[in-house]
Chain A
Amino acid sequence: MTYKTDEIWEDKWVNTTCGVCYCGCGAKVRVVNGVPVKIEGIKESTMGGTNAGLCGKGAAGLMYYHDPNRIKKPMLRTNPEKGIGVDPKWKEIEWEEAYDIIATKMKKIMEDDPNKILFTNQTMRASDGPHNHPYFYAQAFGVKNNGNFIIGGGSLHCGNACHMLGGLIHGAWSIAPDWRYTKYVLKWGSSKGTGSGHSAMTNARLRADAVRRGIKEIVFDPMGNFAGGKATEWLAILPGTDTAVGLAIANYIVNMRGEMDELYLKAKTNFVYLIKDDGTYMRHEKSDKPVVFDTKAGEIKEYDDKSAAWEDLALEGEYEYNGEKVRPCFVPFKEHLKQYTIEWASEVSTVPAAKILEVAKGWVDNAQIGSTITLEGKTFPYRPVSSVTFRGSQGHSNGIHQVAAIDLMAQLVGAEDVPGGTLGWPAIRRAYPGGNYEQTCTVGTDGVIVPSVFYSHDPWPVHAPSYPATNMGCVDVWTHCTLSHIPYVEEVDYIHEKLGMKAKPEMIFGISANFVISNSDWDTAVKNFKDCFVVQNDLWINETDQAIGDLILPDVSYLEKDCWSSEIDAFFFSGSPSYEDWFVHLQKPVAKPIGESRFFMDVYIEVAHRVGVLDKFNAKLNDYYGVKDPELQIKPGEKLTWKEIGERVLRWVYGPDKEKIEEQGYATWHKPIEDVYWRWQIDSRCPVYMEYLIHDRRALEKIFEETGFDYQKLEMDMNQYTPLPTWFWPESHKDLDDEYDLLAFSYRDILHTNNTTFQNPYVDEVSKMCPYTFTITLNTTMAKERGFKDGDIICIENKYGVKEKGIVKTMEAQSPKVIGIAGQGGLWADGRPIAKGKGANFCKLLPAKLKYFDPVAGNMETAVAVKIYKV
């Protein structure tokens, strides 16, 4: 309905991109007299729910604009004392003064060592701002890789292990089931399709259609809420024990049932590569390529020798090469699996053995090994089973093995990037017709895929660990980290000292990360970062800003932002993972900036200009978009706004259609079906046998010996550097005893995007109606036995004396051995009065010692042994 009166001179809808989480759904905003008044989805777009539906958070996004608590001028701390509970005594200053302070400090640091600057980023901000640019902005300062990044939001709870294997297996950031064609889905600690995760509403829509079609969906999760509550079957599992069930299912497939997609294993995995007794590849004497045995020819050949047919490659047997005994790595793998019986997995995970067996059978029965499907005139292998995971299962000290085990069952039946199976986000983005920007993955060393885009250093080829460390995150040593855990850990000084990282952090610069309260133990975070000069671009003064921030710059919300780049480079992250056509949305300013707020990219440009690194940043932009047209390249000495840069990049990316796309707010073009189901189109192999970890282990042990880094004292488990997906107890389980007898875990409440949305009054109102968002859940029977009831205020305490209070809510659908806390409540920043005091904070309960982090991928153990008692 439109109401025209004399007072209304403008009433329009503007197409933009939702910026409330990282999914980037298409959104249109109704603007009356310059004021955004309503948000809906864009009907035509594949980026969103059914009938263009946004989720509740997206519809509530208006409050980013209307919140009177937003900061409107740069805020400078005047109280030199920092810490939680200390008033920073903010003073409003002018932008010129703010730039001056930043540039002066940065220039001084740059003369010394740029690695003294840490950069922040925010997972929540992904769709809400350029995705990759903050990373190569940091590079313009001379910072290498991702070693100097700290993040808030999803933080290290999020996907280090998932991204590592997502990159190595799928050439993509993450995975989703092929909802259109699948029949049987296993979800492990993941809400894909039920309201959160990447492409949340796109997946929700696709899943809803799949459910109506009659798929079976089995959810392994400690609680039966968003994912489990809607599944065909929810199976309660203890946090961090998914590996056990995954390996038992793999054992069933390989050793009990013996039904595998052998052609897939021979053609698409490294299981046929011959290894020596020490587990490393036997390499060809001339080419150094891994070798395989051609059973037909009876001889050893390079893995990519076209004279050997895939079906003739040996998965079993023992051979000899240059006098040395070799065997396919499938042989030890098969043997290794035998120890993982279903009964054992049941004991570890608490999932009934009969259920594990049922799921294992269901998996193989539904895999339809050998079947094919013809789509758009092209024939593909058809494997309608999918096993997906994300934050829940991988957020453990054994994260890499959790993800590897969950992926393994799909490998064994060949259900990877084929119709019905598990899909990575499309690894390939073809250029827009008439445009220029195309991203395709390549095939790297040993036949492993190299993703076209990745946030951190490429997961492949693996960087050999080296020292001295050259950045705060020591990613020279922990080479598989998407983002490093080292800056957060308690032992950071010892680690830096031993590994030769000389520079101490002096400054933090970035975007609204809440890294003090959203990672682990708050006191450690304050200790590690308080001596830095902390500058953040933010909408509000958040908890981190209040505790340790020095200068907070008012940023614009997504409703005031001209972010042409919002989705161009994010195809591998938040495009539609399915066969649906491409929809790439621009982010348009639908209203004028609030107060004196400025888009952080323009602030970044100004700072780079003053520090003298703008030319380097611009060169990286030219390079990133592959701009070849000299007219469109940014030239040395040019200082453009982000919008002006967009004028050139959009012309390069969309060619003559630039104006049309800007006008409609999105670009759409056909996605060829073979770009989605690319597995058999690209001659690559999955490194299921993680041979590189053997080399990493050797290199690390050498480094540790030479540097005197006592990894044993720090209890860093080097055994996890093993090529075979293996069971390791998560650190939280090792802490369980008679007193600390419960495992606390957190989950993503679909109402919220980390803690940012806690400040949204609309979302807050709905959260108050939800029995779970602001409470701590206990299994009903367990609560009764221990004398707790709904509404009781309890204290949760970990082994290190860290406590958090919360309100009890009992629920039947939860394992009796765990307690659940939604998201990241327990907030206290004065700058966010609606969020303040809501819910309980889970993150502070997580100890920040090195042993609680995955020694390979660096993700955090996100379960913790606790005791609970009434207050």
Chain B
Amino acid sequence: MEIIGEKLYPFKLGTVIKCNFCSERVDAGTKKGLAPGKDEEATPACVNICPVGARVFGDLDDPNSEINRLIMEKKGKQLRKEFGTEPAVYYID
């Protein structure tokens, strides 16, 4: 497993990295035809494991997805969206 880890994250100690929503996991899952946010194998590990279900993952490009419904319904907020980076993380109450 360490070998796999080194392949995925070929960094030295101290390297700054950013969350990529377990892209390799989501990619592998979607290749199998699984749905992100519905099937665990196509969903980031933190979403699967959160013991209070605080995180929701899904396809923002799909207007009918659960995630878009929640963002609309709960008035999801993006942080610093004025910088034009189109943050893909929304916060809901």
Contact = CB atoms under 8 A, between A and B. Distances in A.
Contacts of B4: 1, 3
B38 to A, nearest CB: 13
A55 B52 CA distance: 10
A50 B50 CA distance: 7
B88 interface: no
Q: A interface, how many residues as a size bin? A: 10 to 19
A55 B53 CA distance: 12
Nearest to A58: B51
B50 A3 contact: no
A457 interface: no
A54 B1 contact: no
Contacts of A204: 51-52
Interface residues of B, number: 9
B52 A49 contact: yes
Interface string A37-60: 100110000001111011100010
Contact of B51 (A3, A54, A209): A54
A208 interface: yes
Interface string B32-56: 0000000000000000111111100
B51 A205 contact: yes
A209 B51 CA distance: 11
A51 B54 contact: no
A45 to B, nearest CB: 12
A207 B1 CA distance: 36
Interface string A45-81: 0001111011100010000000000000000000000
Interface string B50-83: 1111100000000000000000000000000000
A201 B50 CA distance: 11
A248 to B, nearest CB: 31
B49 A208 contact: no
B50 to A, nearest CB: 6
Contacts of B52: 49-50, 53, 204-205, 207-208
A180 to B, nearest CB: 15
Contacts of A40: 49
Interface string A1-42: 101000000000000000000000000000000000100110
A272 B86 CA distance: 66
B49 A55 contact: no
A712 to B, nearest CB: 51
Contacts of A209: 53
Contact of A48 (B51, B53, B54): B51
A51 B1 contact: no
A526 B18 CA distance: 50
Interface string A584-627: 00000000000000000000000000000000000000000000
Nearest to B40: A51
A1 B53 CA distance: 23
Interface string A193-227: 00000000100110111000000000000000000
A49 B1 contact: no
A766 to B, nearest CB: 14
Contacts of A48: 51
Contacts of A201: 51
A43 to B, nearest CB: 10
Nearest to B25: A1
A50 B51 contact: yes
A396 B50 CA distance: 35
A55 B51 contact: yes
A48 B51 CA distance: 8
Interface string A511-536: 00000000000000000000000000
B1 A53 contact: no
Interface string B1-27: 100100000000000000000000000
A54 B1 CA distance: 22
A205 B53 contact: yes
Contacts of A50: 50-53
A193 to B, nearest CB: 9
B61 to A, nearest CB: 25
A578 to B, nearest CB: 15
A253 to B, nearest CB: 31
The residue among A3, A51, A207 with the most chain B CB atoms within 10 A of its own CB is A51
The residue among B1, B48, B49, B52 with the most chain A CB atoms within 10 A of its own CB is B52
A100 to B, nearest CB: 45
A217 to B, nearest CB: 14
Nearest to B48: A51
Contacts of A37: 1
Contacts of B50: 49-51, 53
B13 to A, nearest CB: 13
A208 B54 contact: yes
Nearest to B50: A53
B28 to A, nearest CB: 9
A208 B1 contact: no
Contacts of B1: 3, 37
Contacts of B53: 50-51, 205, 208-209
A50 B49 CA distance: 8
A37 B5 CA distance: 15
A657 B54 CA distance: 37
Contacts of B49: 40, 51, 53, 59
A54 B48 CA distance: 11
Contacts of A205: 51-53
B67 to A, nearest CB: 15
A671 B38 CA distance: 30
A33 to B, nearest CB: 12
B43 to A, nearest CB: 10
Nearest to B3: A3
A122 B4 CA distance: 41
Contacts of A53: 49-52
Contacts of B51: 41, 48-51, 53-55, 201, 204-205
A762 to B, nearest CB: 14
The residue among B49, B50, B51, B54 with the most chain A CB atoms within 10 A of its own CB is B51
Contacts of B48: 51
Nearest to A194: B52
Nearest to B4: A3
A156 to B, nearest CB: 30
A205 B49 CA distance: 12
A704 B54 CA distance: 57
B8 to A, nearest CB: 11
B3 to A, nearest CB: 9
Nearest to B74: A212
A527 to B, nearest CB: 43
A204 B52 CA distance: 6
Closest 4 CB pairs of A and B: A49-B51, A53-B51, A208-B52, A50-B53
Given A51-B53, A53-B50, 13 more contacts: A3-B1, A37-B1, A40-B49, A49-B52, A50-B52, A50-B53, A51-B50, A54-B51, A55-B51, A204-B51, A204-B52, A205-B51, A208-B53
19 contacts: A1-B4, A48-B51, A49-B50, A49-B52, A50-B50, A50-B51, A50-B53, A51-B49, A51-B50, A53-B50, A53-B51, A53-B52, A55-B51, A204-B51, A205-B51, A205-B53, A208-B53, A208-B54, A209-B53
